[in-house]
Amino acid sequence: MAVAVIFVATGCGGMRGNENTEGVQLYQQGNYQGAVNAFQQALAKQPGNPDSFYNLGATYHQQAKLFNRPSDKQLAEQYYHLCLSRNPDHAACHRALAVLLIEEDRSQEAVASLEAWAAARPTDPEPRMELARLCYENNNLLAAENHLIDAISVDPADPRPLVALGSLREQTGQTSQALANYERALALDPKQPVVSSKVASLSRGDGATGGTAMAMTPASTGPVR
């Protein structure tokens, strides 16, 4: 899994918003210590806020990757767990923690963490999509496909797992099934120009349209606005 940058909004207070925005800007400039200080100030103004914990974890996670500092990775994991203890449905944090565990060769823990989230949210497609992503990025395409089918079954009105499943099936040469998935996703949400293009191409019999798998590419897992 790749780690990129997503910053989470942290509340609605003016000062707090300014501090979070400053942290985002400092992170994007590569000033990670400055970002940590800004996020800590935001957390001090609203103790226990899960987004602030997540932003701190993501910043330490990035530092650990860039500077090879195991202590930063330990701090990142601690902050991720603090975030999830306060918001068990924090999708970005679940994703980031799974990335960190995979990086630490703790793939079984990563899977177990996402499976526990899925078990706690039996009607939510999000954890099942993250399990699919994890399997996809570890080249277990059959398991990824099964998790996406599961995501669709728990929320048939969500077009995202349909698009992801269509993309996966397109990649593996199952073009008729991919077309059916794309068409169903468009019926739920017609404002998807990329999916519309896929449907048009596959309907003409052009075969797989190439490119990376939509909605199954590595997700950004960094601090969020």
Tens digit of pLDDT for each residue in 153-172?
999 999 999 999 999 999 99
User: CA distances (Å), 28 to each of 34, 74, 90, 97, 192, in order?
Assistant: 11, 22, 22, 21, 29
Range of the domain at 35: 14-203
Tell me if 208 is assigned to some domain.
no
- Which tokens sit at 157? 């009105």
Here the CATH number for the domain that contains residue 132 is 1.25.40.10
* pLDDT-based confidence at residue 211 (cuts at 50, 70, 90): very low
Q: How many domains would you assign to the chain?
A: 1
Tell me if 168 is assigned to some domain.
yes
Q: How many other CB atoms are found less than 10 A from the CB of residue 94? A: 25
Tell me if 225 is assigned to some domain.
no
Show Cβ contacts of residue 139 under 8 Å, excluding neighbours closer than 6 positions. none
Q: Which H or E run includes 12?
A: none
3-state class (DSSP) for residue 138: coil
Tell me if 130 is assigned to some domain.
yes
Show Cβ contacts of residue 178 under 8 Å, excluding neighbours closer than 6 positions. 165, 166, 167, 169, 170, 198, 202, 208
In whole numbers, what is the pLDDT of the chain averaged over residues? 87
Confidence at residue 203, expressed as pLDDT on a 0 to 100 scale: 93
The Cα–Cα gap between 194 and 177 comes to 17
The Cα–Cα gap between 23 and 124 comes to 31
Confidence at residue 8, expressed as pLDDT on a 0 to 100 scale: 53
- What does the pLDDT look like over 62-106, one tens digit per residue? 999 999 999 999 999 999 999 999 999 999 999 999 999 999 999
Tell me if 222 is assigned to some domain.
no
- Chain center to CA of 56: 17
pLDDT of 144 over the 90 cut:
yes
- Which tokens sit at 9? 């909004």
Tell me if 9 is assigned to some domain.
no
Tell me if 209 is assigned to some domain.
no
User: CA distances (Å), 159 to each of 127, 204, 208, 221, in order?
Assistant: 15, 23, 20, 22
* pLDDT-based confidence at residue 133 (cuts at 50, 70, 90): very high
Query: Average pLDDT for residues 169-189, to the nearest whole number?
Result: 96
Confidence at residue 77, expressed as pLDDT on a 0 to 100 scale: 98
Tell me if 144 is assigned to some domain.
yes
